[in-house]
Amino acid sequence: MDGGDPDATDVHDTSEAGPNSVLSGTWRFPRPDFDLSALPRYECGAGLRATLPAPHSPTGHHLCEMGGWIYATVNGSVGRYRGTDGRRELLTEVDRADGYVDHGASVVCRRSDLVVAVSQRTPKSSAIVEFTDPTGPGVVRWVRVTEPRPEWATGIYEHVATESLMAWTYQYNGGPLQLWVAGPHGEAPRVLVTSPSQFYPTASGSTLVFEYRDVLHRWSPGMAAPERVTPEINSWQWSPWLDGDRLVWLDGRHGRGSRDRRDNPEVYFKDLRTGETRRLTHDPPERPVGQVDPTISGDWVAWSDFRDAATPNPSTSFSDRMDLYAFNLRTGREHRLVSEQQTSLPRILGGRVAFACTIPRPVGYGQLFLVPLPRE
């Protein structure tokens, strides 16, 4: 596998470092003076009111829970919500009129710390920062400074972290995407593979799973190279989510789609320890249906489903109706949690599913909601 040239991204220029710069070795959440409670909280179906209002769509794979707070990435900004008292805070700036932020970020939770991917405007830089206390300074574990050319695509696009590893996708000056891996605190960072397309990494424990060359691969520290998750199948696979040894993803083996045009994707499950594989959704070829954003926690799997949409099999990841579904692996029962809405990016947090719900125009943006899982 081609790991690329890590030194090609190692561009350091600290001459323009300003206050709270990632180049100093530490970084704080700016905590701007922006009152989240001033934003309207809309409803998503009967009785579901937004927990975290947002001017943009929350990113579900950068949504997590730690210390009683739910953290959500909101198009370059990080907000958090505390259920005990309903408190809502914005930790980084919202988008400015020119589409940039001085301190954009996305967040991943571990048991006792946060791992944050930070993008700074001045100087244009990207960093991985680790926080044990979100109110204090975090430690910069990896940083790159890049040429200040906005027409060049540069930055961190996806990142994951566990107690055993960190991984992130980085692009430099419009070049190929690089999947970086490192120890749990950023030790020995290196490029694992490069690709012209996104990796969609997910990690749990010491295992990293990602899309590479249109199929899923797995890697753990100590492995010489990644290996395929399903070597017996050559269908396109994407959107993985891993919890322990349990993996879910979208699989194109029952359609005629491609990377650029999806067709009848199905939700699949595999136990990486035992090898057990199950197809969780069953849409006949004569009536293909799309699903997006599968996620798993314990026995529960959740995803957004297009089966009742006017356009049930779109070539993209969006349709006019996207109901939220859950499936229990132990009982084999499927449940519809939210109907007649446009849900996306679910994330299972304990006995609840957090998800984004698109509010119809004239609002035209998503907000973060919580819905309980059924009692089985």
8 Å CB contact between 148 and 123? yes
Report whether pLDDT(3) > 60: no
Question: Residue 362 has what pLDDT?
Answer: 45
Question: Residue 43 has what pLDDT?
Answer: 81
pLDDT tens digits, residue range 321-354? 889 999 999 999 999 999 988 888 899 998 999 9
Report whether pLDDT(190) > 90: yes
The pLDDT of 301-308, averaged and rounded, is: 94
Question: Residue 104 has what pLDDT?
Answer: 60
Report whether pLDDT(36) > 80: no
What mean pLDDT is reported for the chain?
A: 83
Question: Residue 288 has what pLDDT?
Answer: 86
Secondary structure of 341-364 in the HEC alphabet? CEEEEEEEECCEEEEEEECCCCCC
With 0-12 / 13-18 / 19 or more C-beta atoms within 10 angstroms meaning exposed / middle / buried, residue 220 is: middle
Least confident of 20-29, 101-110, 180-189: 101-110
8 Å CB contact between 70 and 91? no
Question: Which has more confidence, 294 or 105?
Answer: 294
Q: Is the peptide bond before 123 cis (omega within 30 degrees of 0)?
A: yes
Cα dihedral across residues 22, 27, 29, 33: positive or negative: negative
Question: Residue 250 has what pLDDT?
Answer: 92
Question: Residue 152 has what pLDDT?
Answer: 61
The pLDDT of 117-135, averaged and rounded, is: 86
Q: What is the CA radius of gyration of the chain?
A: 20
Report whether pLDDT(363) > 60: no
Report whether pLDDT(371) > 80: yes
Question: Which has more confidence, 41 or 85?
Answer: 85
List phi, psi (to 5°) of 179: -95, 110
Tokens of residue 247, six digits: 């993996």
The pLDDT of 136-145, averaged and rounded, is: 93
